[in-house]
Amino acid sequence: MSHLLREHAPITEGNWELLDSEARERFAPALAARKLVDFAGPHGWQYSATNLGRVEEIDDPPGKGVVGVQRQVLALVELRAPFAISRAELADADRGAEDADLEPLDAAAHRIAVAENAAVFHGWKAAGITGIVEASPHDLIALGEDCERYPRHVAKAVDALLSAGIQGPYGLALGPDAHTRVLETSEHGGYPLLEHLREVVGGPLVWSPGLRGAAVLSVRGGDFLFEVGEDLSIGYESHDAGAVNLYLEESLSFRVATPEAAVALT
Amino acid sequence: MGFDQYHEPPEELSAETRTFVRLCTSLTEEAEAIGWYQQRMAVETDGEARAIMHDAQGEEFKHFCMDLEFLLRRTPLWREIAEGILFRDGDIVEHGEEAEEEATEGAAERGAPLAGGESLGIGSLREAVA
């Protein structure tokens, strides 16, 4: 049995399939960072740190005529989003109900996806994670609310990447507000702004909950490194007569190898 | 009834893995039954009896295919390899080698889960972006 303790939960095999399938569906649109950065793993629950390949000198070695250095690693972070599912709803699903209320799972999936994206784009100082936006050495580009000027701003970001010697293709991550404005906008002549932006960057355009503003980044690979120990999983916490307490969980690290491979737009 | 379909202590296996193993065992049994009916029909001289066996073998074809489809749905890597081999003209061995190479390399890049694992198996979503 794994640490997820799924077999202790009063949940039938059919309902585990239902919960896993629902979670996968909810994650697919929201896990924006995984659509743009390099992914490594899963390395397993016991994998605790990412090798940074660097060392740091240590003072006062315990002996004369020797020096000591210590390996530097980035410890993985465990992200967990708890939720509770009504046992009555699970029983109805076992009877064949097609509309079981899994909203708490959906909300937890969204929370953990937003946190994952925010860690990748904006960092997580307490966890030692530097995000793509804060790592970028390029000047911030103001997006503003005039959508018709977006292609110009995004083209300026692509230009900055090219000038820094960063090859494409490039991807455009759009925070929810910017994404909504883009979807609602057609330029003169009715051409969807979405398509125009896609042509400018030459790569994916990704709805990115958790990102404030937008970012243009190279998706050539090797620049932004996301690593998981345990990939997203559902585990069991406890239950009572009314509900089963579960959680979504993953362990991860993220590091920026090429800070200049992204430009932030605010 | 014995539990010799497991090679590891069943209580140490997850529910997902036990289901996976049950269907693998079922797949094997259906394939054996198909072979048995084939032999029986080969030696049976009574036409009416042969017709019944023929019908029964058809049932086993159906069961085998349902088991296989279930396992392929739960194991993306297996499905990807199968897609490179099944229902194609040409050299079967060649298709098999190509499908295995392409699928395993792609799966490793995506961080795909092992068969019967407990994670949601999401991994990289780079290929999911248009």
Cis peptide bond N-terminal to A204, omega within 30? no
Q: Which of B19, B122, B126 is closest, CB to CB, to A232?
A: B122
Task: State the nearest Cα–Cα gap between B6 and chain A, in angstroms.
Answer: 15
Same-domain check for residues B104 and B130 = yes
Q: Is A231 close to B16, i.e. CB distance below 8 A?
A: no
Boundary-marking domain end, from B74, B93, B121: B74
Candidates A43, A121, A90, A214; CA nearest to B117 is: A43
Task: State the nearest Cα–Cα gap between B49 and chain A, in angstroms.
Answer: 40
Same-domain check for residues B32 and B80 = no
A chain contacts of residue B11, beta-carbon cutoff 8 Å: 1
Candidates A219, A206, A200; CA nearest to A157 is: A200
pLDDT at A48 over 60: yes
Same-domain check for residues B130 and B114 = yes
Residue B3 lies in a domain: no
Question: Do A103 and A26 form a contact (C-beta atoms < 8 A)?
Answer: no
Candidates A85, A46, A76, A33; CA nearest to A210 is: A33
Confidence at residue A32, expressed as pLDDT on a 0 to 100 scale: 97
Number of domains making up chain B = 2
User: In whole angstroms, what is the distance from residue A216 CA to residue A144 CA?
Assistant: 16
Same-domain check for residues B103 and B85 = yes
Confidence at residue B115, expressed as pLDDT on a 0 to 100 scale: 46
* Confidence label for B107 from pLDDT (cuts 50, 70 and 90): low
Q: What is the mean pLDDT of residues A201-214?
A: 94
Taking the domain A6-265, which CATH number applies? 3.30.2400.30
Confidence at residue B4, expressed as pLDDT on a 0 to 100 scale: 76
Mean of the per-residue pLDDT values for chain A? 93
Confidence at residue B6, expressed as pLDDT on a 0 to 100 scale: 84
Residue B129 lies in a domain: yes
Q: Is B122 close to A40, i.e. CB distance below 8 A?
A: no
Mean of the per-residue pLDDT values for chain B? 85
B11-39: b or e for each residue (b if 16 or more CB lie within 10 Å)? eebbbbbbbbbebbebbeebeebbeebee
**Which position has the higher pLDDT, A188 or A144?**
A144
What's the DSSP call for residue A124? B
pTM score, two decimals?
0.71
Residue numbers of the domain that contains B22: 11-74
pLDDT at A55 over 50: yes
Residue B5 lies in a domain: no
Q: Which regions of A47-184 does DSSP assign to beta strands (E)?
A: 49-58, 68-75, 77-86, 170-174
pLDDT at A241 over 80: yes
pLDDT at A54 over 70: yes
Q: What is the mean pLDDT of residues A225-247?
A: 96
Query: In a mutagenesis test of the A interface, which of B8, B14, B122, B127 is the best target, namely the one with the most A β-carbons within 10 Å?
Result: B122
pLDDT at B11 over 90: no
pLDDT at A12 over 50: yes
Q: Is B129 close to A204, i.e. CB distance below 8 A?
A: yes
Confidence at residue B114, expressed as pLDDT on a 0 to 100 scale: 47
The ipTM estimated for the assembled molecules is 0.85
Same-domain check for residues B23 and B66 = yes
What's the DSSP call for residue A190? S
Same-domain check for residues B87 and B70 = no
Q: Is A206 close to B129, i.e. CB distance below 8 A?
A: yes
Boundary-marking domain end, from B40, B56, B74: B74
Task: State the nearest Cα–Cα gap between A233 and chain B, in angstroms.
Answer: 4
Residue B105 lies in a domain: yes
Q: Side-chain half-sphere of A133: how many Cα atoms within 13 Å?
A: 24
Same-domain check for residues B62 and B101 = no
Confidence at residue B130, expressed as pLDDT on a 0 to 100 scale: 46
Q: H-helix or E-strand containing A30?
A: helix A13-30
A66 interfaces chain B, CB cutoff of 8 Å: no
Residue B33 lies in a domain: yes
Same-domain check for residues B62 and B109 = no
Same-domain check for residues B98 and B128 = yes
Same-domain check for residues B57 and B87 = no
Question: Do A83 and A108 form a contact (C-beta atoms < 8 A)?
Answer: yes
Query: What are the angstrom distances between the C-alpha of A47 and each of A72, A89, B31?
Result: 15, 36, 40
Confidence at residue A216, expressed as pLDDT on a 0 to 100 scale: 97
Q: What is the mean pLDDT of residues A245-249?
A: 98
Residue B6 lies in a domain: no
Residue of A nearest to B9 (CA): A1
B9 interfaces chain A, CB cutoff of 8 Å: no
Same-domain check for residues B67 and B89 = no
A21 contacts: CB under 8 Å, gap ≥ 6: none
User: Poorest-confidence range of A83-92, A124-133, A177-186, B25-34?
Assistant: A177-186
Boundary-marking domain end, from B74, B99, B120: B74
B8 interfaces chain A, CB cutoff of 8 Å: no
Residue B90 lies in a domain: yes
Residue B26 lies in a domain: yes
A211 interfaces chain B, CB cutoff of 8 Å: no
Q: Is A234 close to B126, i.e. CB distance below 8 A?
A: no
Candidates B124, B103, B56; CA nearest to A31 is: B124
Token pair in block for residue A209: 């909950």
A chain contacts of residue B129, beta-carbon cutoff 8 Å: 35-36, 171, 204, 206
The pLDDT tens digits for B55-83 are 999 999 999 999 999 998 888 789 889 99
Same-domain check for residues B69 and B92 = no
A chain contacts of residue B14, beta-carbon cutoff 8 Å: 1-2, 6-7
DSSP annotation string for A192-235: BHHHHHHHHHSS-EEE-TT-SSEEEEE-SSSSEEEEESSPSEEE
